[in-house]
Amino acid sequence: MYGCLTIGGIIFLLPFIAFIAFIVKLIVKGKNESWKGTVINKLHNTKRDDDNRLEHTYSLTVNMTSGQERHIAVSSEFWNSTKVGDVIEKPKGALYPKKV
C-alpha cells in the first residue's frame, strides 16, 4: 500500500517538474539572448475576456540590426515611453529591452 502511494506521488510530480523545467528553460533562453533594433511600429490591441473586462496587449515591431523584423511584447509603461524611430536593445542577461 505504501509503495502505491509513492509511485502515485511520483506520477503526480513528474508533469509538475517537467512544467517547472520548461519555464526555467524559457527564462534562461530569454536572458541569454541579446539584440538591438529600431522601433518601426507600435501596436496596442484590446479584447474582452470572459468576464467582459478589457484586456490590453502592447507590442513593438522592431527592425533588428541583423535585418530581421520582430514583434516584441512590452509593458504599457515601456510602450508609452517609446516612439517610432527609437533604438532599443535587450542586453544579454536582462529579461526586458531598454531604450538606447
Residue 3: pLDDT above 80? no
Please state, in angstroms and rounded to a whole number, the distance separating the CA atoms of residues 47 and 57. Answer: 9
| Sheet architecture: strand order including 69-74 | 69-74, 54-64, 35-48, 87-90, 98-99
Q: Mean pLDDT of all residues in the chain?
A: 88
Residue 68: all three cell numbers together? 530581421
Domain boundaries, the chain: 1-32, 34-99
Which CATH architecture is the domain 34-99 placed in?
Beta Barrel (2.40)
Distance of CA 86 to the CA centre of its chain: 20
Q: What local confidence, expressed as pLDDT, does residue 87 receive? A: 97
pLDDT band at residue 73 using 50, 70 and 90 as cut-offs: very high
The dihedral region occupied by 5, where left means phi > 0, alpha psi between -120 and 50, and beta the remainder, is alpha
